[in-house]
Amino acid sequence: MNTKSENEINSEEEINLYDYWKVLVKRKKILIGIFLIPLVIVTIISFSAPRYYRGEAEISYPVSPISPISPVPTVSPAANIVKLIGVIDETKKVKIFTKNSDAIKNVSVSLTKGSADKVTILVDAKTADIIPQAFKGIVDYISNMPEIKEENAKIKEENNLKMKHLIEAKKENLIFLDQITDMMKKRQISFISVNPADLIKKDADLSLEIMNLQKIGVNFGLLGPLSISVQPSNSQIKQRIVVAGLLSLFACILGVFFLEYLDRMKARKNKQRRQP
């Protein structure tokens, strides 16, 4: 008894699926039309829309040397730059890029992950040759901001002051080293508490610190070569086409069965009218 019931259920499912298939085949022209028309429109729009080259680079910001006079800032210099620039809208684009503003679609300025003195900039432009000019315009724009100029002046003053102290300490260390060395050569002292090797190491450390301080500078600049995409970037084209295809398929199947439902309702009403 149970076996018979199961067979009847399976038979009904097969009939239902076959009925669905007959409906799809019956209205295949409508099915193909509803599926293809939106898909073709989305594909044409996606490929005909302008695609843009992308440039990416980092700019460095000089970090003020830490000292008792200049405490550690609560906000990193790079984060401060991102905050000062804000969103680069059309008005800022015209101000920064002047003649090339129409050829630049989008500019993104963000804090480089894991860094306190680097800012990542992304530029989307119609042609690749505009991107280097765009980055030059951004760097010039940032350098000429009043807040940045003031911070640069402060950093330069602090760097110069620290450089002066380091040079004086290096001179005093060398003078002391020469005195100790000379006294040891003349055997004027038999025992000293200072090891000349320590003075030599201190001189090397001071020289390295001075060299690093000289490299800091106070101007912005690109870190490494500018990265520009070889082909116009538009990674969303395939995604749009796939999504449009899936939505079209769902819409056409739904539309076909809805039309079939309307036809059956109409046929049922006509049959009821004919009956006495």
User: The CATH number of the domain where 202 resides is what?
Assistant: 3.30.70.1130
CA-nearest of 272, 248, 264, 240 to 26 is 264
Q: Are residues 84 and 216 in the same domain?
A: yes
Alpha-carbon span 147 to 152, nearest angstrom: 9
Counting beta carbons within 10 angstroms of the beta carbon of residue 30, is it exposed (0 to 12), middle (13 to 18) or buried (19 or more)? middle
Q: Are residues 61 and 192 in the same domain?
A: yes
Mean pLDDT of 211-220: 63
Q: How many domains does the chain have?
A: 2
Amino acid 159: pLDDT: 80
Q: Are residues 116 and 220 in the same domain?
A: yes
Amino acid 224: pLDDT: 67
* Higher pLDDT pick, 181 / 231: 181
Mean pLDDT of 107-115: 82
Q: Are strands 53-60 and 118-125 parallel, antiparallel or unpaired?
A: antiparallel
Q: Are residues 93 and 114 in the same domain?
A: yes
Q: How big, in percent rounded to 5, are the helix, strand and coil portions of the chain?
A: 65, 10, 20
pLDDT more than 70, % of the chain: 77
What are the C-alpha distances in Å from 263 to residues 27, 105, 131? 12, 51, 60
How does pLDDT run across 8-55, given as a tens digit for each residue? 444 444 446 677 788 788 888 888 888 888 888 888 887 777 678 888
Q: Are residues 151 and 201 in the same domain?
A: yes
Amino acid 216: pLDDT: 59
Beta carbons within 10 angstroms of residue 266's beta carbon: 10
Q: Are residues 183 and 102 in the same domain?
A: yes
Answer whether 0.75 is exceeded by the pTM: no
Q: To the nearest whole number, what is the mean pLDDT of the chain?
A: 76
State the residue range of the domain holding 29.
2-49+234-264
Q: Are residues 221 and 95 in the same domain?
A: yes
Give the three-class secondary structure for 59.
strand
Amino acid 186: pLDDT: 73
Read off the pLDDT band of 73 (50, 70, 90): very low
CA-nearest of 47, 82, 40 to 61 is 82
Read off the pLDDT band of 276 (50, 70, 90): low
Amino acid 220: pLDDT: 55
